[in-house]
Chains A and B, each alone.
Chain A
């Protein structure tokens, strides 16, 4: 394809999301999984990557450093990933109850999904972890965040599928099937 003056037209790719400024906390008791996640995040040019080996250490890191995103495993001792999410959402010591959290899990059984959703996770990353699946989760957190819901018994991202586009508007109209 050529322009009117005969020069070839080069399609300029639209500007992609730059993950460089992100500060991400990885919480997992398995050092191999931490290494994998850090390798992927590093390759995606994330500059600040922090690590913690359980939910308790993760919460201390959140209070000290205020990361932008938390990736946490589910099964950890002494403080599990679900308990970490509860502390982030409900503890008076939490610096940011809206902090985006992705739960890493080996299974996607409905019981586990419901428990994690009720604790207030934003999204799931089901093993096996791949660069694509992690990248997609991070982009979704940035571009399509969920609104938060507060009731007497729950505080966390909406458990409905509605997401918001970046500026806070719903990304699909709420018609008859909506709220």
Chain B
């Protein structure tokens, strides 16, 4: 099924034929009718539906983060760091944290991704920092430290910041 492409209902040339402004018909509004705005009850339903996925996320997160840590450990053993192989999966996985009530996971994951994108040489301290990120993220989900994590969360952020500042790299 193909719909015909909407034709512009208004075309305005701005300037001497250089910029054309087109106002296409609002097909979405036509299709959805006269209602307006967000339905708070529907939003609560959607939030409840996402909440129901949280336990599955926690289980999957722990399994996948362990797998990524194992890949990193294998690189350590081989003394060959193809860090790009785990950088993007880290970014993808941890990006989901905030959706399920774990913004600290997203924060630590972003910090780790940026560090892995920037780092040139992996000496013991850099390797230690990567391990510390993995440990912190595992602790957050394993101990169900949700939202900003309160005092414990702030302490974890501060400790990672201290290690990072010693390495003079981008802050978390």
Q: Do residues B26 and A166 form an inter-chain contact, with CB atoms below 8 A?
A: yes
Residue numbers in B under 8 Å from A21 (CB-CB): 31-32
Question: What is the total number of residues of chain B having a CB less than 8 Å from a CB of chain A?
Answer: 52
The yes or no answer to A172 lying at the interface (CB within 8 A) is no
The residue that B106 contacts in the complex, of A128, A158, A179, with Cβ under 8 A, is A128
In the complex, whether B158 has a CB less than 8 A from a CB of chain A is: no
Please state if B95 and A128 are interface contacts (CB–CB under 8 Å). yes
Find the A residue at minimum CB distance from B22.
Answer: A148
Contact surface of A with B, Cβ cutoff 8 Å: 14-19, 21-22, 30, 32-33, 35-36, 39-40, 42-45, 63-66, 68-69, 75, 94-98, 100, 106-107, 127-132, 135-136, 139, 141-143, 145, 147-152, 158, 164, 166-168, 179
Q: In the complex the two chains form, is A179's CB within 8 Å of B14's CB? A: yes
Which chain B residue shows the least CB distance to A67?
Answer: B3
Given A14-B36, A106-B92, A128-B98, check contact A43 B46 (CB 8 Å): yes
Known: A65-B1, A96-B5, A168-B26. A128 touches B38 (CB 8 A): no
Nearest CB of chain B from residue A129's CB, rounded to whole Å = 5
A121 CB, min distance to chain B CBs, angstroms: 16
* A75-B88 contact, Cβ under 8 Å, with A18-B33, A135-B43: yes
Give B1-29 as 1s and 0s: 1 = Cβ < 8 Å from A's Cβ atoms.
Answer: 11101101110001000111111111111
- CB of B53 closer than 8 Å to a CB of A: yes
Contact B92 A17 (CB under 8 A): no
- B141 CB → nearest A CB, Å: 14
Q: Which of the residues B25, B32, B42 comes within 8 Å of A43, measured between beta carbons?
A: B42
Interfacial chain B residues near A17, Cβ < 8 Å: 32, 35-39
Contact present for B21 and A168 (CB under 8 Å)? no
